[in-house]
């Protein structure tokens, strides 16, 4: 278990580095959430010092027993549960800040794989790399599911923020 936890921390640091680089953020602006989203103003595994200015929730998952068949034609139950974790963080964000976050996703990778971003938001880019046929059901709503390369999702977020 300790080895998996260390791998998870490593992956979260890697995701933080990608976010900082893409969004041109300083170290204090974006870092690993020390308690994986359990502090009052931590939402998900990545902490932003100003959650209004950076309204993003990233839940990170590294390793796990999944293959590309876990995504298509339908998203597997395990991956849907990961997305549910991100939406629980979303609910906390809404409760604390009384606004909707702009981006909610699960960032997923395995050793030697490029990180993927699973989200219910269609990003303004060409196309997702995968669009599972099932819906994500949360509360009383059904959401389409989109899978992007994380680097492409971050480019979209950067462009929407006007960061160059």
pLDDT score recorded for residue 4: 67
pLDDT exceeds cutoff 60 at 136:
yes
pLDDT exceeds cutoff 90 at 164:
no
Give the mean pLDDT of 26-52.
85
Q: In this predicted structure, which of 3-7, 14-18, 158-162 has the lowest mean pLDDT?
A: 3-7
Give the mean pLDDT of 116-138.
89
Query: Which residue from 30, 24, 29 is spatially nearest to 45, judged by alpha carbons?
Result: 30
Q: pLDDT tens for residues 51-87?
A: 999 999 999 999 777 787 888 899 999 999 999 999 9
pLDDT exceeds cutoff 70 at 50:
yes
Whose structure tokens read 């906390």? 92
Task: Give bridge partners of residue 30 from the DSSP assignment.
Answer: 48
Tokens (6 digits) for 102:
């702009």
Residue 118 dihedral angles phi and psi, to the nearest 5°: -100, 125
pLDDT score recorded for residue 66: 78
The helix or strand, by DSSP H or E, that contains position 12, with its residue range, turns out to be helix 2-23
């Amino acid at each position: 278990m300790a080895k998996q936890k260390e791998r998870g921390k490593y992956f979260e640091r890697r995701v933080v580095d990608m976010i900082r680089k893409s969004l041109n953020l300083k170290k204090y602006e974006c870092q690993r959430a020390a308690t994986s989203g359990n502090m009052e103003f931590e939402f998900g595994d990545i902490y932003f010092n100003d959650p209004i200015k950076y309204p993003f929730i990233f839940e990170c998952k590294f390793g796990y027993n999944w293959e590309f068949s876990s995504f298509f034609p339908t998203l597997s139950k395990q991956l849907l549960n990961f997305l549910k974790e991100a939406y629980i963080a979303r609910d906390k964000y809404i409760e604390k800040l009384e606004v909707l976050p702009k981006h909610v996703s699960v960032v997923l990778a395995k050793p030697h794989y490029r990180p993927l971003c699973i989200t219910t938001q269609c990003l303004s880019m060409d196309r997702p790399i995968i669009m599972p046929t099932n819906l994500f059901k949360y509360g009383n709503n059904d959401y389409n599911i989109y899978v992007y390369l994380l680097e492409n999702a971050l480019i979209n977020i950067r462009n929407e923020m006007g960061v160059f």
